[in-house]
Structure 1
Amino acid sequence: MIHYRKILELHDEGISLRGISASTGNSRQKVKEVIDLAVQKGLTCPLDEEMGDKWIEEFLFPEKSIEASGRQPLDFEYIHKELAKPNVTLSLLHYEYEAESRANNKIPYSYRSFVRHYSFYAQKYKATLRIRRKPGEIMEVDWAGSTAFIIDRDTGEKIKAYIFVATLPCSQFSYAEATLSMDLHSWIGAHINAYEYFGGATQIVVSDNLKTGVTKHTSREVVLNPTYKEMANHYNTIVMPARVRSPKDKASVEGSVGVISTWIIALKNRLCYIRFC
């Protein structure tokens, strides 16, 4: 039995090949092969707890475990490259991988194992997982929970203003606009202004379940406001409302709302004059 983990840990401590061989009972030639391959593949100490001998063997010598199990091998470079393309997800790649496995009469990895193996690969080779958000793909929109005020120069009256926020998740680039109401006209107009500000329309809009935009949202059916749907069709985009009580579905715009609420709305001692055109 080859003690992969112990070999790598002893090597990290500066033990010689002869010493590692004597300690593990493996030949110096095998010890050198394991160490050289680990260096080549970027597997360095300290090792995570789950990286036992079996995991390290699968990582360094994938052909051995794959041949023994009859599984379809994973092409990590291909997976990582494909994830950079628009609309490509790990779920889609696993579906294609399963189809290829059946065609080759091989056993596919489950989706959970598929993601786990890719995660280990990304951590050791690419430092981070490929982000699922892609430039120009999604725009998240919402109203800020706090309101601002516009002061009438002549009367001094404070007029309530509602803050619309749009964020591009990939870049965290945001757009904010104050409107005098939260009606459909303001909602649609703010979207249009956001598109003009960003310089184009995204493929998908993730919104909250506001009555101005979403008429009905259940687990089986999503019904958009007709005007909102027409706007989406005009810009050739898709509206995907966030799940009810699921703020993580639009975490980027929620974060932007927090920043705007703190650094714009909450600055009570600053008075800004607005010129209406």
Structure 2
Amino acid sequence: MRQLRQMLRLAGDGTSARDLALTLGVARSTIQDSLKRAAASGLNWPLPGELTDDALEGKLFARAGVKQGMRRRPEPNWADLVVELKKPGVTLLILWEEYRAVHPGGYGYSRFCDLFRGFERRLSPTMRQHHVAGDKVFVDYSGKKIAIVDPRTGEIREAEIFVAVLGASNFTYAEATWTQTLPDWIGAHVRMFRSFEGVPRLIVPDNLKSGANRASFYDPEINRSYGMMASHYGVGVLPARPRRPKDKAKVENGVRFAQTCILGRMRRQTFFSLAEANAAIAEALDRINDHVMRRLGVSRRHLFQTVEGPALASLPVEDYEFAEWRFARVATDYHVEFSNFFYSVPHGLIRQQVDLRATTRTIEIFHRGKRIAAHQRRYGPTPTTCLVPTGDTPNGRRIASAVGPLRSDHRPRG
């Protein structure tokens, strides 16, 4: 536009097309064509001061019979292409080939890609992560709590809100749990997978202690009990980087949406049990997932049913049973301690490190991957006890005999 303005100024002073071509360093035919366009548009030097470069370009190079802002060639529905691109194996080249099969005179591949990227930029001003169907689920706690009233005492207890969002469809799951501790955290995952009726390839949690023991940019350490749950479902765990909320932007948006549609809309309701709160949350989730997204023109549920759901891996036959894993050191009295109860192991493992697996019913103890003892889990108060040995060694020291599997708790008696 700067050269065109200079051309019009020199042409107004009577400079010939040949001299203009030499001065501006362009072909004479280009100068002649530009002068014809300026004459056809009624442009003469001096140009109006309010005439911008965009307006000048529009006057000189407007296409006859084409309305400004309208493209000459047919375009696909870009929102549909965004949905199709989420499906496994689909690329822009495949979508372009399908587009040209329907419109042989349509745009070339490079222009097609430019127009698609322009549509993506209108969706969000930030960089968009490309999420393939069935690839990731983003999980986190809301941070805002929901109040539940004890009907007997009137005491108000606050429950946490667990939120999960699938990457490709934005399909959202939420539920209330009493705490963020390991049993509630893993139990929420089990119910989430049951709700999805399938399993994605990866879970992307935040770095809370129930999910990751040690946050790290390169090699995070996953909580062992959480890792065993992931192994049961055949899903990987990829914690978000510390202090990088955009790594889990999906769930951050889902949390904000859930706070608005769940906490905001239910702020005047009173709940007397966790089950009542979860029933109300389920109704709110239906509204969230059935809501038509403005830019894509379809709902989260529609995307889940048509795109994401079929791409999920199948669930195992049985749900995961929560088990807490711990390291333990066998004491000199051939016992390991868990929740103030003592469980016996073979005396040959004194001072050895063992793995302890605790479920709601049993305590299992492993050494080098082999189960060496199993006990019924004990609950309740633990009285003060002292060890009564059972058996003599040749050198006069008293030790306990080895314990076989699946025997009941052996607790020292006093």
Shift in Å at residue 235 of structure 1? 1.1
Which of 153, 156, 160 pairs up with 1:155?
153
Structure 2 equivalent of residue 169 of structure 1? 167
Q: Secondary structure of the equivalent of 1:191?
A: helix
Unpaired segments ≥5 residues, structure 1: 16-37, 43-79, 94-117
Correspondent of 1:14 among 64, 88, 97: 64
Contact in 1 for aligned 2:86/2:133 (Cα 8 Å): no
Deviations 1:92-114 (A, max 9, x none): x9xxxxxxxxxxxxxxxxxxxxx
Distance 2:274 2:146 in 1: 16
Distance 1:128 1:194, change over 3 A: same
8 Å CA contact 2:150, 2:273 repeated in 1? no
Q: Structure 1 or 2: larger helix share?
A: 1
TM-score scaled by length of structure 2: 0.40
Flag the 1:230–1:84 CA change in 2: closer, same or farther, 3 A: same
Report the alpha carbon displacement of residue 169 of structure 1 after superposing the two structures with TM: 2.4
- Percent identity over the alignment is 37
Distance 2:210 2:153 in 1: 32
Equivalent residue, structure 1, for 2:254: 256
Letter in 2 for 1:156: G
Answering whether residue 222 of structure 2 is matched by residue 230 of structure 1, we say no
Displacement of 1:125: 5.7
- List per-residue Cα deviations over 1:65-101 (Å, max 9, x = no partner): xxxxxxxxxxxxxxx9x965548999xx9xxxxxxxx
- C-alpha displacement of 1:154: 1.7
The equivalent of 2:113 in structure 1 is 122
The alignment partner of 1:200 has SS state of coil
- 1:168-187 paired onto structure 2 within 5 Å: 168-187=166-185
Partner of 1:27: none
The 1-side partners of 2:161 and 2:226 are apart by 19
Distance 1:147 1:170 in 2: 27
Structure 1's 190 and 89: CA in aligned 2 closer, same or farther, altered over 3 A? farther
What is the RMSD computed on CA atoms of the aligned residues? Answer: 3.8
The answer on whether the counterparts of 2:177 and 2:274 sit within 8 Å (CA) in structure 1 is no
Q: Within 2, Cα distance between the matches of 1:127 and 1:276?
A: 46
Is it true that 1:216 corresponds to 2:266 in the alignment?
Answer: no
Residues 125, 250 of structure 1: alpha-carbon distance in 2 compared, 3 angstrom cutoff: closer
Instruction: Quickly say closer, same or farther: Cα 1:229–1:120, change in 2 above 3 A.
Output: farther
Letter in 2 for 1:195: F
The partner residue of 1:199 within 197, 217, 229 is: 197
Task: Give unpaired runs (5+ residues) of structure 2.
Answer: 1-26, 38-56, 66-70, 76-81, 94-108, 121-127, 277-414
Q: State whether residues 122 and 128 of structure 1, in contact with CA within 8 Å, keep that contact through their aligned partners in structure 2.
A: no
Partner of 2:378: none
Q: Distance in 2 between matches of 1:119 and 1:174?
A: 35
Structure showing greater Rg: 2
Q: Map 1:41-60; keep pairs closer than 5 Å.
A: none
TM-score calculated relative to the size of structure 1? 0.58
What do residues 148-199 of structure 1 show as CA deviations (whole Å, max 9, x unaligned)?
A: 1111112211111011100112221111111111101111000111111111
Is the Cα–Cα contact under 8 Å of residues 164 and 251 in structure 2 kept in the other structure? yes
Match of 1:247 in 2: 245
Secondary structure at the aligned position of 1:145 is classed as coil
Give 1:268 shift. 3.0
Match in the other structure for 1:133 = 131
